A and B are shown apart, each in its own frame.
Chain A
Amino acid sequence: MAFENSAENIRLLTFFVNGEQYCADISTVTDIIKIPPITFVPKLPDFIRGVINLRGKVVPVGDIAMRFGMEPEDYDDHSCVIVFSIRGTSAGLIVKRVGDVIDVTQQQIAPNVSQTSFISDIVTTEEGTFLKKINLSEIAEA
């Protein structure tokens, strides 16, 4: 269910990490699922929580808060795993809450020049609030 982005319009999935709203390009997102049982895999960085069985595929899942260097959140029944494809395989990110899907234009996106964090751009919404945009594939790469 990948959405096509035109050159002008970009569809973003928003989600919350530690109360703050982030967003990411939805085009690589394949699933948003409730947190399934996670099998712990030893000898990996802490933020990788383990692997899940997604329709017969073994998909690694990471904790986005821990990836950002924050404390893991208390996840509940409404928390989700955002599954996206990268380099031909899948990966999942655990988030506390998934928000709306929004459409923005290229003009609303301002790149983050500092490049010291995972935040690639800052998106100004129609309401005038700022959203931190992340690049999902960057999160998954070591």
Chain B
Amino acid sequence: MAKFDEGMESMLDTYIFEENQLLEQLDEILMRTEKADSILPDDIAEIFRIMHTIKGSSSMMGLANMQKLSHAVEDLFSILRDKPDTPYDKQTLFNLVFDASDSLKNEIDVITDDSLELTDFTQQIARIRAYADVMKNADTVADEPLETESIFIDGESDEILALCVKYTESCLMPSVRAMILLRSLGNVCEVTRTIPADLDADNANDIIAKNGLYIKLICDDKDAVLNTAKNAMNVETAFWYENKSQPAPVAPKAEEKISIPQEQPQPEEKSQPAQTAPKKDSKSADKSSIISVKLSKLDALLDLVSEIVITESTVTSSPDLKGFEGRLEQFNTAARNLKKLTDELQDVVMSIRMVPVSTAFSKMSRVVRDMNQKLQKNVELKFVGEDTEVDKSVVDILNDPLMHLVRNAVDHGIEEPAERERKGKTEKPTVTLRAENVSGEVVITVEDNGAGMDHNKILEKAKRKGLLRKAENEYTKQEALSLIMRAGFSTNENVTEYSGRGVGMDVVKQNIEKVGGKLVVESDLGVGSRFVIKIPLSLSITDVMQVSVGATDLSIPIASVKEIFKLKPETLVRDTEGTELVMIRGRCYPVIRLSEYFAIEGETDNLEDGIMIFCEDDHMRACLFADKLIGEQQIVVKPFSPLLTQYNITESGLSGCSILADGSITLITDVKTIISNIFED
């Protein structure tokens, strides 16, 4: 069964995008206000508005559970908004809202995951409702008399007709449907007013559900209006409501008068809109200069621009020009200008995809806040350089590793308060997230001033677990620390809620390396630990070393190339099974002949004639043997077509391809896969 209303699929992307944005905004307000003594009326109004919007759009999507949950939270804040002096327990209130925010966030993932059922929030809603009652009872005030409004006003023109629309009982939020209906009615008639007048009001739903919606309008084509209304979503009936002296049976006298939403002129409230008004203005001005674009469109644009850059160089360096005898002055000037412009174009397009890392960082405030609540460590999270801009895809990749590192830092890194006191550490327990641009790389550091790691203990444990690959005393401190990123290593024997749940540092490292990044661990015992993530600025562009094997052009990512050399015969060793080994600075590394591995006919079989590329990837080292070295190049990586990956091409050691300036195609090798394929055989 579909999770949301039919005909709403097209809205799903927008819905999810908006919901995520709103919830992030909500978290931000909550984080900010939690530290303060009281919630300002502005913030209450903002939270109310966010919940109201979520409620509205969820019901438009037909997501009843999310609508009800956000409705409950909205009510909670409407109490505070209407009567700011209502006493409440801040912690309880915040926990309820944080929980609700989390549930809503989870639910957004559930919507898109077909394997999951929508969550039932009944209990959570009951808890919120219960607390709302507590708050209400603490300050009971008699219901204020509601103003009323009749359908036909004396002196109103006869041309104005009254259309009555009744919604089905299953309709969650008739007021939202009513707004959609009004919009579509705008095409066929002119709406003068509606009853209830304010469809956005809190009680609008109840009124419409009970009495129906009355639309006062002027039109030429009555049938068109009626048809539009009848065909609108969730509409049960729609008919012209005649002005009879006696009330029609559909609207008994008591209901003819319809209550109008509370615009109670409370003195405190009146001052509030005045305060918020200028703020909202500046916000809307901000918003109008920002548009959200689908990432796929930007990707398409980036692809296109890369092609233009390549085409530009194919045109200006066309072989046809070489034989041309005449003067090319004009052409050369134009070509230079073209090159300048295309370069600029590429820069601009790249910059469009750049977002500040703060989007990834700010999510961590929430993580630390929750852990502080549970662990009572009172850790402070500091940001440095959160304005640093990185490619959108980099930010997406950073989320998980950052979460993991921050959790580790708070859970394992920072000591218990008593422990800190005993050690005489007076400074506040702090986790610092730092971002900076260093020569084409983004460097993200997660640093804590906690206990630090004892590399001797790590070595001991790695030894116990059989993870050591050389003699214990040969490990440098740095190498020892790196051991924690090995699969099967977890320093904490006790699995806690926050760490040790099977996803270890090795996964963090893998995820970062998958995108061409590096993870380095530094630590001083007693002073703290530092995890440094280095990721290329843009993921689509990679530096490679181009080599040739026979007629095939292969590219090896520079990140995994350690050195390139010609083989000296005296350094070649053969073991008993005939495996060729090369001696490099007192160590032997296996030789992998790329021609043999890929079953390509190479130009030479003689190891001395070709070129040796000493590679290291994920602690696996080997010498790759190719015919010739072509050079170093920056390339735009293109993944293989799914028609090729169905033949397991990526598992065989080719990660993608790229089109070079001359239009030819180079294949990108995956050194790690090649080496592990050889070793496993």
A contact set with B: CB distance below 8 Å: 37, 39-45, 48, 51-53, 55-56, 58-60, 86-87, 89-91, 140-142
Q: Contacts A53-B659, A53-B664, A55-B307: A42 and B598 contacting too (C-beta < 8 A)?
A: yes
- Interface flags, B244-258, vs A, CB<8A=1, else 0: 000000000000000
Task: Identify A37's interface contact among B303, B654, B664, CB under 8 A.
Answer: B664
- Determine the chain B residues whose CB is within 8 A of the CB of A40 once the complex forms: 551-552, 600
Tell whether, in the assembled complex, residue B654 and residue A56 are in contact, meaning their CB atoms are under 8 Å apart: no
Say how far B164's CB is from chain A's closest CB, in angstroms: 45
Interface extent on B, as a size class? Answer: 20 to 34
- CB contacts (< 8 Å) of B654 on chain A: these are 41-43
Give chain A nearest CB distance to B130 CB in angstroms. Answer: 51
In the complex, B642 has a CB within 8 A of chain A: yes
B667 at the interface (CB under 8 A from A): yes
State whether A44 touches B664 (Cβ < 8 A): no
B residues less than 8 Å from A45 (CB atoms) = 647
Q: Report the minimal beta-carbon distance from B335 to chain A, rounded to whole angstroms.
A: 20
B119 at the interface (CB under 8 A from A): no
Say yes or no: B667 contacts A89, CB within 8 Å: no
Q: How far in angstroms is the closest Cβ of chain A from B50?
A: 37
Whether B558 is near chain A, meaning CB under 8 Å from some CB there, is no
Given A53-B659, A60-B643, A140-B643, A44 and B649 touching (CB < 8 A)?
A: yes
Partner of B647, one of A48, A53, A56: A48
> Complex: how many Å from CA A53 to CA B663?
7
Q: What B residues does A53 contact at CB under 8 A?
A: 659, 663-665
A59: which B residues are within 8 A, CB to CB? 641
Complex CA gap A60/B639 in Å reads 12
In the complex, chain B residues whose CB is within 8 Å of the CB of A91: 641, 643
B600 contacts A58, C-beta separation under 8 Å: no
In the bound complex, do residue A39 and residue B644 qualify as a contact, i.e. CB atoms below 8 Å apart?
A: no
B307 near A56 with CB under 8 A, answer: yes
- 16 further interface pairs, Cβ-Cβ under 8 Å (given A43-B598, A52-B665, A53-B664): A39-B657, A40-B600, A41-B667, A42-B599, A42-B600, A43-B649, A44-B644, A51-B665, A55-B307, A56-B311, A58-B665, A59-B641, A60-B643, A60-B644, A87-B643, A140-B643
Instruction: Tell me the bound Cα distance from A87 to B310 in angstroms.
Output: 27
Query: In angstroms, how far is the closest chain B Cβ from the Cβ of A30?
Result: 14
Question: Chain B contact residues: over half helix, strand or loop, or mixed?
Answer: mixed
Q: Closest chain B residue to A42 by CB distance? A: B598
Q: Bound state CA distance, A60 and B665, in angstroms?
A: 12
Residue of B nearest to A140 (CB): B643
Considering the chains assembled together, what is the distance between the CA atoms of A48 and B653 in angstroms? 17
In the bound complex, how far is the Cα of B659 from the Cα of A53, in angstroms? Answer: 7
CB-nearest residue of chain A relative to B306?
Answer: A56
Sample of 26 A–B contacts (CB below 8 Å): A37-B664, A39-B664, A39-B665, A39-B666, A39-B667, A40-B551, A40-B600, A41-B644, A41-B649, A42-B552, A43-B599, A43-B654, A44-B644, A44-B649, A51-B644, A52-B665, A53-B659, A53-B664, A56-B303, A56-B311, A58-B657, A58-B659, A59-B641, A89-B641, A141-B643, A141-B646
Residues of A within 8 A of B642 (CB): 87, 89
- B598, B600, B641, most chain A CB atoms within 10 A: B641
Q: Are B643 and A39 in contact (CB under 8 A)?
A: no
* Cα(A86)–Cα(B643), bound, Å: 9
> B649 to chain A: closest CB distance in Å?
6
Which residues of B sit under 8 angstroms from A60, Cβ to Cβ? 641, 643-644
B644 CB contact (under 8 Å) in A48, A56, A87: A48
B652 at the interface (CB under 8 A from A): yes
Cβ-based interface call for B416 (8 A):
no
Query: Hey, which chain A residues are within 8 Å of B598, CB to CB?
Result: 42-43
Asked if B230 is at the interface of the complex by the 8 Å CB criterion, the answer is no
Closest B residue by C-beta to A62: B643
A111 to B643: give the CA distance in the assembly, Å: 26
B219-261 interface mask toward A, CB cutoff 8 Å, 1 = contact, 0 = none? 0000000000000000000000000000000000000000000
- B638 within 8 Å of A (CB atoms): yes
Q: Which of A44, A48, A52 has the most CB of B within 10 A?
A: A44
State in angstroms the CA–CA spacing of A48 and B654 once bound together. 16
Shortest 6 CB-CB contacts between residues of A and residues of B: A56-B307, A42-B598, A43-B652, A39-B665, A142-B646, A89-B641
